[in-house]
Amino acid sequence: MHQHTPLPPVSQPIALFSEFVSDTPKTIILKEKILSFSGDSFEIKLDNHEPILKVKGSWAPFHGRKKVEDMDGQHLFDITKEHMHLHTTYVIEDPEGEKIVEIRSDFKFIGSKANITFHDRNGKPVTLGMSGKIFEHNADIVDQETGQVAAHIRHQRFNGRKMMFGQDTYTVTVAPGVDMALIAALCICFDEKNHD
C-alpha cells in the first residue's frame, strides 16, 4: 500500500481522544529525534508538517516510559513496557497511572502480531489486531469486530538519517473516524518491539 493511499472510513469510531479524530483520511509521520537526551523521543506531525504530538522518552533504559503530550503541553498518556509477561506487553496509562490500553504481542513464525484491547471514549470494549512483516517494518491495524483497516504503518527504509544515526521514520495512514494519538502510540510500540 502506498503511503498516501487513503483508507475508507471505519463504520464505528475507534477513539480515546476525540480531538485527534478526523472525518477525512490523514497521514501522520513519526520520526525519532536524532540527538534526544531523554531516550527514544519522537516528533509526530501530519504529512503537511503540522505538529500534533510530542513524545519524550525516559532516561532510565529499564523503565522505558514515554510521555505523550499535545502541542499545548497537556499530558495525554504514557507508554511503557511491562516486564513480567511471557509475551512482550506494552501499556498506555493515563496521567494518573491507570492502564487504559494493553498491547500484547504474540509469536508468529514470520512477522509480528499484537492484540490491542481497551475501552473507547464511550466505554465500549475494543479489540484491534496489528500484524506485519518484521523485516519490512510494515503493519496493518485492524478492528477485530468489523475487519476494517484502521491504519497502515509503513517504515521508511534506507534514508540518510537512518543510515547515519539509526533514526527510524514511519508514515502512518489513518482511516477517518480513528484516533491519531492512539495510532501514533501503537506505532511507537511497533517500533519498540522491532528493536527488541
Q: What is the DSSP string of 10-41?
A: PSS-B-S-GGGB-SS-EEEEEEE-TT-TTSS-
Q: Is there a domain that residue 2 lies in?
A: no
| pTM (predicted TM-score) | 0.88
* pLDDT exceeds 70 at position 111: no
Measured CA to CA in angstroms, residue 146 lies from 9, 65, 155, 165 at distances of 12, 32, 26, 40
pLDDT reported for residue 105: 86
The number of domains in the chain is: 1
Higher pLDDT, 162 or 187: 187
pLDDT reported for residue 160: 54
Q: Is there a domain that residue 42 lies in?
A: yes
- Mean pLDDT across 63-90: 88
Q: Is there a domain that residue 13 lies in?
A: no
Q: Domain containing 133: what range?
A: 18-195
* pLDDT exceeds 80 at position 73: yes
Q: Across 20-29, 53-62, 64-73, which has the greatest mean pLDDT?
A: 20-29
Lookup: cell for 21: 479524530
Q: How many CA atoms lie within 13 A of 176 on its CB side?
A: 8
Measured CA to CA in angstroms, residue 128 lies from 3, 15, 44, 161, 172 at distances of 21, 12, 22, 32, 16
